[in-house]
């Protein structure tokens, strides 16, 4: 249940995509963890990685740290090009009702990430926004956030739940 059994008219592509890396193992690309009670948690995509100064970090790792702050409702982390480090992390944070953005809060979030992940992964910027662009399935659309941050064309936005969230990101930039 829930596992694809093939690609339309392209069996070999399906085998190459999901079954070729390890014998008899379906590699789907989700990054998961199992706790001491045997409960599984989907943490993000294993192929969604930001490379910063030779270190690799998943956006979900950065987001979990930022989201642990009591002032933050949710966040998104993106990688943006940097001539020295290859990429740098930029964070967009949605604050809880009644919490006002401030330089002190921005610094707290930067320091929180740095303390957990190390100096090379300190965010270049922490931006505050009213909402994150999401699909109808509530998945944050990081590619749209990245395109808006870099001033690029947004591409296909047909799966966006709330177009106003894109404006929130653009206003934060």
What residues are labeled active site?
A: 47
Q: Where are the alpha helices (DSSP H) in 8-163?
A: 11-18, 59-67, 103-117, 142-150
Other CB atoms within 10 Å distance of the CB of residue 53: 14
Write the DSSP assignment of 59-84 as a string of letters. HHHHHHHHHTSTTEEEEEEEEEEETT
In 3D space, the residue among 47, 7, 4, 10 whose CA is nearest the CA of residue 26 turns out to be: 4
Is 40:26 a contact under the CB 8 Å cutoff? no
The backbone torsions φ and ψ at residue 39, rounded to the nearest 5 degrees and listed phi first, read: -85, 140
Is 41 within 8 Å of 108 (Cβ atoms)?
no
Q: What are phi and psi of 32, to 5 degrees?
A: -125, 160
């Amino acid at each position: 249940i829930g596992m694809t059994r093939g690609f339309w008219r392209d069996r070999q592509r399906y085998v190459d995509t999901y079954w070729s890396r390890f014998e008899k193992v379906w590699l789907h690309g989700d990054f998961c963890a199992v706790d001491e009670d045997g409960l599984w948690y989907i943490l993000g995509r294993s192929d969604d990685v930001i490379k910063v100064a030779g270190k690799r970090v998943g956006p979900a790792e950065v987001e979990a740290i930022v989201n642990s702050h009591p002032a933050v409702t949710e966040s998104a982390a993106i990688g943006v090009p940097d001539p020295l480090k290859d990429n740098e992390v930029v964070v967009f944070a949605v604050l809880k009702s009644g919490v006002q953005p401030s330089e002190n809060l921005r610094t707290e979030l930067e320091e929180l990430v740095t303390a957990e992940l190390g100096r090379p992964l300190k965010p270049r910027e922490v931006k505050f926004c009213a909402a994150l662009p999401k699909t109808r399935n509530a998945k944050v659309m990081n590619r749209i956030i990245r395109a808006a941050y870099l001033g690029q064309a947004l591409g296909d936005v047909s799966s966006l739940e709330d177009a106003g969230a894109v404006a929130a990101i653009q206003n934060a930039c």
